[in-house]
Structure 1
Amino acid sequence: MTLTSSSLPSEIADRLRGVELPEPLGFGRLMAPVMSLAYYRDGAWETPRLTGLDPLQLAPHTQALHYGQAIFEGMKAYRNLGDSPADGPSLLFRPYEHARRFNRSAARLGMPELDEQVFVRALEELVAVLEPLVPGQQGQSLYLRPTMFGATADLSVVPSTEFCFLVLATPSDAFFTAPISAWIERHYSRAGAGGTGCVKAAGNYAASFAAAAPLRENGFQQLLWLDAVEHTYLEEFTAMNVFVRRGETLLTPPLSDTILAGITRDSLLRLGPSFGLRMEERQIDVHELTDAIQAGEDVEVFGCGTGAVVAPVELIGDETGLRLPLPAQSTALELRKRLLDIQHGITPAPEGWQWPVGALPDGPQA
């Protein structure tokens, strides 16, 4: 698919001309050649503008490079595959919830908030320009990465006074289309009480890299983190919330300082009752889980997040030699299909979840 446009500014049109979707898409193989960019200076945000995907000029003593004052969001634009393409060729999924979470992250790291409407309009403008890069198969998407970082060139250990906001885009295949394996991390901790585990701070992810070595060594794919105090209770996967189904009950750990308020997590909590499931937010002891699997109970485990949507787990292991296969994850797959059908406009979405590009409202959303 080749991008062409005669209505764009010449600089942007030149960037887009001749760009083609790779095959397979993968993730991050092709970065869209256009991004949205704005700076915060003298106590106010500029209006985000479209610009080419060029290197940013940063001083070596830019504060974000030294003190990690950086946040991001992960979200997607989906091709509208429903019966009403007139509603818009592409759909943003719950963009205002992402805007609010972005601002919660900003507040936690001492950064200025960005008006929700400005945030969403920047997304919409970028997706509208990149429309031909929104892939057309169910599960595929144009992945969007809103980011903010402290841009002041100063080694003082104080918050920045200047900030950069940008939105990147990359056409993406569906993640984890096959069941995954999960490694219980029993030593390192992802986050502690009072820390930044409940927001999308960049450093949260860097802190997981060293702990990921056993994944490669033992052929596993995802870390399953336990709480930082007792190393007993399930918290999250590295980049996904965790759910456990026992019989007709769907369990997930309650939100806290150490658990991200996942938008996909919230979506599944709202959709679960329509599958006849009882939703329960409570601590889940890792031994409760492993004992139930070993006893042959009706148990499913899956992760969920913007990237993965829903990722069934087929094997759980750890450093002690524990290897617990799980049965087919039928509920997880049903939830995944329902959510993707909503995201692609195939089935009706709950109010406020689905926003056609070009038809977003003018004011903040409840």
Structure 2
Amino acid sequence: MTSTLASPDLRRRLEGIQLPDPLGFGTLMAPVMAIAHYRDGAWEDVRLDALDPLSLAPHTQALHYGQAIFEGMKAYRNLGTDLPGTALLFRPHEHARRFNRSATRLGMPELDEDVYVATLERLVSTLDALVPERQGQSLYLRPTMFGATAHLSVVPSTEYCFVVLATPSDAFFTAPISAWIERRFSRAGPGGTGNVKAAGNYAASFAAAAPLAKLGFQQLLWLDAVHHTHIEEFTAMNVFVRRGDTILTPPLSDTILAGITRDSLLRLAGSLGLSMVEKPVDVAELVDAIASGEDVEVFGCGTGAVVAPVELIGDETGLRLPLPPFPVATRLRRHMLDLQHGVLPAPAGWQRPVPTR
């Protein structure tokens, strides 16, 4: 399985495209995508193609049984002094490995890691004009795989489609957010798919999230499914809590996604003089600490959001607790963006320049 380059016709589709201001998220889809099919037990070559509708039979298995996964990644404009102006991928091999973990969990074929990364490089190189110039903005990449067999049997597909989409975007959150403690619904249960990026994980959050905007909140903060006593993660981010000099994040389990940004922060903590500990966080203790005026920060982190400080926490009991200033979250966000944009040197293998074609 290899990746083929874009044709001159595809490159012409990019001529004259103007980036909107603000970019938003998913507002402008790049007119070129990468696509490959798995048939007869093997992957066909990846090709770059026009972003056109896919032809799917109504009885395509993914539509009925949810055999679908995705990744969220970004290409950043290099704002540093080493190869300035190029595009940078951040930890693409880690995203490839997580994509394959998701595939394995849902009974899907893996993709060769090097082909996965080469596909991203070729797509980003073709779409270089759509990589924004400002820090915090990016060309967001959405690798996706779904079961494509047209059959209603309740078994894994024998055919699959792999697609990579791209959209110039702002970060999910450009200002501090408000979080709603979800005490009724559960995001993921032990032994389920909460630790992979299965498409259905996100659909399961929609009903709980529906009233949030009306209530003045933006993100759900999920609790464990068994006892509803410990925080696990936000809908689209991992969660960190700082109490005094210690920063806590729930340990990974089969109900918590292994976030690439989460892992990056844990690995960087020592060099930044921070103490980060993987430890369960009791929601009642957290609420009491905030209410008592303790020095507490809560923030989320993820590819889309980078680092997002929380300024307000509430729940269905009428709780509305404002949080004090968030100096550590602000510092971590700035540091992560400097790494992702090449302003600061990153650990070996984290910054991957995209060759210009």
Partners in 2 of 1:84 and 1:283 — Cα distance? 41
Residue 8 (structure 1) shift: 5.7
C-alpha contact 1:243 1:302 (8 A) present in aligned 2: yes
C-alpha contact 1:41 1:162 (8 A) present in aligned 2: yes
Partner of residue 315, structure 2: 318
Secondary structure at the counterpart of residue 346 of structure 2 = coil
The aligned length equals 352
Could you say what the CA RMSD is over the residues aligned between the two structures, in angstroms?
A: 1.2
Partners in 1 of 2:116 and 2:182 — Cα distance? 36
Partners in 2 of 1:43 and 1:126 — Cα distance? 25
C-alpha contact 1:248 1:276 (8 A) present in aligned 2: no
Secondary structure at the counterpart of residue 269 of structure 2 = helix
Partners in 2 of 1:149 and 1:140 — Cα distance? 28
Residue 295 (structure 1) shift: 1.4
Partners in 2 of 1:16 and 1:136 — Cα distance? 17
Partner of residue 82, structure 1: 80
What are the equivalent positions in structure 2 for 1:299-338 lying under 5 Å apart? 299-338=296-335
Residue number among 113, 136, 151 corresponding to 1:139 in the alignment: 136
Residue 246 (structure 1) shift: 0.7
Residue number among 52, 64, 69 corresponding to 2:62 in the alignment: 64
What TM-score do you get using the length of structure 2 for normalisation?
Answer: 0.97
What are the equivalent positions in structure 2 for 1:1-366 lying under 5 Å apart? 9-85=7-83, 89-358=86-355
Partners in 2 of 1:8 and 1:27 — Cα distance? 25
Residue 275 (structure 1) shift: 3.0
- After the TM superposition, which of the residue ranges 317-326 and 10-19 deviates more from structure 2? 10-19
Partners in 2 of 1:50 and 1:21 — Cα distance? 21
C-alpha contact 1:183 1:223 (8 A) present in aligned 2: yes
C-alpha contact 1:255 1:261 (8 A) present in aligned 2: yes
C-alpha contact 2:179 2:218 (8 A) present in aligned 1: yes
Structure 1: 5+ residue runs without aligned partners? 1-6, 360-366
What TM-score do you get using the length of structure 1 for normalisation?
Answer: 0.94
C-alpha contact 1:182 1:315 (8 A) present in aligned 2: yes
Identity %: 76
Partners in 2 of 1:235 and 1:173 — Cα distance? 26
Q: Which amino acid aligns with 1:358?
A: P
Q: Which amino acid aligns with 1:63?
A: Q
Q: Which amino acid aligns with 2:153?
A: S
Partners in 2 of 1:244 and 1:134 — Cα distance? 33
